[in-house]
Structure formats: structure tokens, C-alpha cells
């Protein structure tokens, strides 16, 4: 606003008549926001009232105001789009690490994805032929090459099936798709994991890509996975080859939960477990490990 005023055009970002703006300004209680909106600039943050946020989004979506400043925590909940997105920095203050921490790349991609509104369009749904959108990413100089490489050069997509094979194997045993260890090895040969092993063996700690190397690796993976599932009482091994599901494995497959979680519940829950104990056991479920948390909400 200061620079716009110094150029002699304080309302350069306002694209509607003041009488059309008045009904929306009346819904805004925050003095700073009300003042900024009158000049075509607004801001959004987590502490805003829903009515204020709706007013800002409506004004920007219609093209009445042209600039909206948002906090990074709104990256996933924001539905607005723009012809120009400027990301002012790639780090946030992390008190637990006593300094700055990088935003996850997924968050940055989500912010960049807001640049989907053709220049000159009056609304989000209005298309303008030949228009292009721009995203400006401002980052610390040493990180510049990293982000350039990430944005302009493709990264290979690798499989992490070996980290989650136990739950998949247990579910396939329950459905009788896999009835023995050889079935399990054959099952793995139809996966993306198997394809990538031959293309990038170093990533999967393989010493070669011959049929013997791949077969031995899959056999070892199946053996170790079956041993873990058997120890967790998710399945039973008969004659050192045949696999059959047990109750815990069937429950885990039916409710789509990890075999580690069902093993924890089975070993920890008793008829005398109190409410506090129930909550502690429930919160120890491995499924909670993959839930993302916003910065500073770890506790």
C-alpha cells in the first residue's frame, strides 16, 4: 500500500466501485483488514472469523481486489487461485530445533498450485486464451539450486513396498490370494517394486540384477515378512511352506489396520483395563505415525 501510494495510485489494486465493496467491508471487524480491503489488498490467517474469510475470498475470486497475503499454514485449505503467486521464503521458525526449518516440498507444491488463474480473468472459472500463470519462489541462496533441480528436473519414482509388505501380504493371505510362500514370491513379481529392482538395484541394496539375484532377494523378503507375521499371530505357517490366516490377521485386514496395531491391542487390552489405559493403548497405534502435524503442534 505504501509503494502504491508513493506512485500516486493508492487504489490501483481495487477493481470495483466503493459502493459495491461496502457490503463486504461491513462483514469485516478487524480494523487493519478493513483498511487494507478498501485499497484492494487483503490478508488471511488462521485466527480470522469465518465471515471475514468468506468476504475476502469472495472479493478476490470476483476480481474486486487483486492482492491477498496468506500465512503458510493455510496452504492446504486455501481454494483461491491467482495469475501470480509469490512465496516469501521456504522456512519457518521451529522452536524444537532452535532455528529455521524447511517447509515440506509438498507444502510448497500446494502453494505453487494456487497459480492457476489466467491473467485478466474476472473469475476463477473464466478462461482467457493464451494466458499463463507465474510463481515466484524466494529462498535462501544456498537452497536455490536444490529447488531448481526439484522443479525443473524429474525425480525417479521408487517403490517402498518392502517397508509395508507385511500388511499387504497378510491381507492377501486372508483373501486366499496367497496360500504359500511361493505364491507370495510370484505375487511380488507383478508389482512395481519388482520392476524397479532391476532398473535401480543399488537403491534396493542388490548386488546384481540377474534372475538369481532378484529371486533370492524376494525369497528373503518373504521369509522375513512371514516370520514377523507369524510372531505377531497374524498368520500360521504349516509344513514350513503353506500359509493360513489367524484371527488377528483377519481382523486387521477387515478393518484396514496394521498388523502391529492389532498385535498391540491383543497383548495390551484386558478385561480390567481402565479408560486411561484404553486411551494410551489407542494413541499408541502405528496409524498415528503417518498423520502430518502443523509446525509447533507436536506436543
CA-to-CA distance for 119 and 84, rounded, in angstroms?
8
Residue 238 DSSP class: E
Q: 48-105, pLDDT tens digit by residue? A: 888 999 999 999 988 899 999 998 888 777 888 888 899 998 888 776 666 678 888 8
Query: E strand or H helix at 247, and its extent?
Result: helix 247-254
Whether the full predicted model's pTM is greater than 0.85, yes or no, is no
Does the pLDDT value for residue 120 go beyond 60?
A: no
The pLDDT confidence band at residue 122, using thresholds 50, 70 and 90, is: very low
242-248 average pLDDT score: 95
pLDDT at 111: 87
pLDDT at 67: 92
Residue 167 DSSP class: H
pLDDT at 276: 92
Q: Which three cell numbers stand for residue 258?
A: 496394521
Query: E strand or H helix at 268, and its extent?
Result: helix 259-268
Q: 34 vs 298, which has greater pLDDT?
A: 34
Instruction: Note every long-range contact of 266-271, with CB atoms under 8 Å and residues 24 or more positions apart, other chains counting.
Output: 266/233
Does the pLDDT value for residue 25 go beyond 90?
A: no
CA-to-CA distance for 250 and 47, rounded, in angstroms?
45
pLDDT at 127: 39
Q: 26 vs 121, which has greater pLDDT?
A: 26
pLDDT at 245: 95
Q: 124-167, pLDDT tens digit by residue? A: 334 344 467 888 999 888 888 888 887 777 777 899 999 999 99
- Highest mean predicted confidence (pLDDT) among 4-8, 234-238, 283-287: 234-238
| Percent of the chain scoring above 90 in pLDDT | 45
CA-to-CA distance for 94 and 107, rounded, in angstroms?
16
CA-to-CA distance for 174 and 177, rounded, in angstroms?
8
Whose CA is closest to 20, among 38, 44, 45, 2? 38
Q: Per DSSP, what are the bridge partners of residue 94?
A: 99
Q: 164-203, pLDDT tens digit by residue? A: 999 999 999 999 999 999 999 999 999 999 999 999 999 9
Does the pLDDT value for residue 235 go beyond 70?
A: yes
pLDDT at 108: 86
CA-to-CA distance for 234 and 251, rounded, in angstroms?
9
Q: To the nearest whole number, what is the mean pLDDT of the chain? A: 86
pLDDT at 93: 77
> 3-state SS of the chain: helix, strand, coil percent to 5?
50, 10, 40
Strand pairing class (91-94; 99-102): antiparallel
Q: Give yes or no for a contact between 193 and 218, defined as CB atoms under 8 angstroms apart.
A: no
Amino acid at each position: 500500500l505504501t509503494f502504491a501510494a508513493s506512485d500516486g495510485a493508492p487504489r490501483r489494486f481495487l477493481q470495483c466501485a466503493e459502493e459495491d465493496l461496502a457490503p463486504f467491508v461491513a462483514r469485516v471487524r478487524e480494523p487493519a483488514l478493513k483498511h487494507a480491503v478498501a485499497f484492494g489488498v487483503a490478508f488471511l490467517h488462521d485466527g480470522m472469523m469465518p465471515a471475514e474469510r468468506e468476504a475476502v475470498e469472495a472479493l478476490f475470486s470476483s476480481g474486486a481486489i487483486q492482492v491477498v497475503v496468506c500465512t503458510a499454514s493455510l496452504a492446504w485449505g486455501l481454494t483461491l487461485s491467482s495469475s501470480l503467486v509469490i512465496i516469501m521464503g521456504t522456512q519457518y521458525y521451529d522452536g524444537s530445533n532452535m532455528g529455521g526449518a524447511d517447509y515440506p516440498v509438498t507444502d510448497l507444491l500446494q502453494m505453487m498450485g494456487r497459480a492457476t488463474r489466467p491473467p485478466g480473468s474476472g473469475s476463477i472459472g473464466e478462461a482467457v486464451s493464451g494466458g499463463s500463470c507465474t510463481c515466484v519462489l524466494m529462498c535462501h541462496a544456498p537452497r536455490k539450486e536444490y529447488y531448481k533441480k526439484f522443479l525443473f528436473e524429474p525425480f525417479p519414482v521408487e517403490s517402498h513396498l518392502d517397508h509395508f509388505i507385511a500388511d499387504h501380504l497378510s491381507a492377501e493371505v486372508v483373501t486366499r490370494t496367497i496360500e504359500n510362500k511361493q505364491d507370495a514370491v510370484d505375487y511380488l513379481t507383478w508389482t512395481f517394486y519388482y520392476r524397479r529392482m532391476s532398473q535401480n538395484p543399488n537403491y534396493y541394496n542388490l548386488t546384481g540384477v540377474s534372475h538369481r539375484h532378484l529371486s533370492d532377494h524376494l525369497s528373503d523378503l518373504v521369509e522375513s515378512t512371514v516370520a514377523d507375521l507369524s510372531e505377531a499371530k497374524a498368520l500360521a505357517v504349516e509344513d514350513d511352506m503353506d500359509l493360513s490366516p489367524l484371527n488377528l490377521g483377519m481382523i486387521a485386514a477387515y478393518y484396514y489396520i496394521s498388523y502391529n496395531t492389532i498385535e498391540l491391542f491383543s497383548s495390551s487390552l484386558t478385561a480390567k483395563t481402565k479408560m486411561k489405559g484404553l486411551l494410551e493403548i489407542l494413541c499408541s497405534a502405528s496409524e498415528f505415525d503417518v498423520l502430518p502435524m502443523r509446525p509447533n503442534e507436536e506436543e
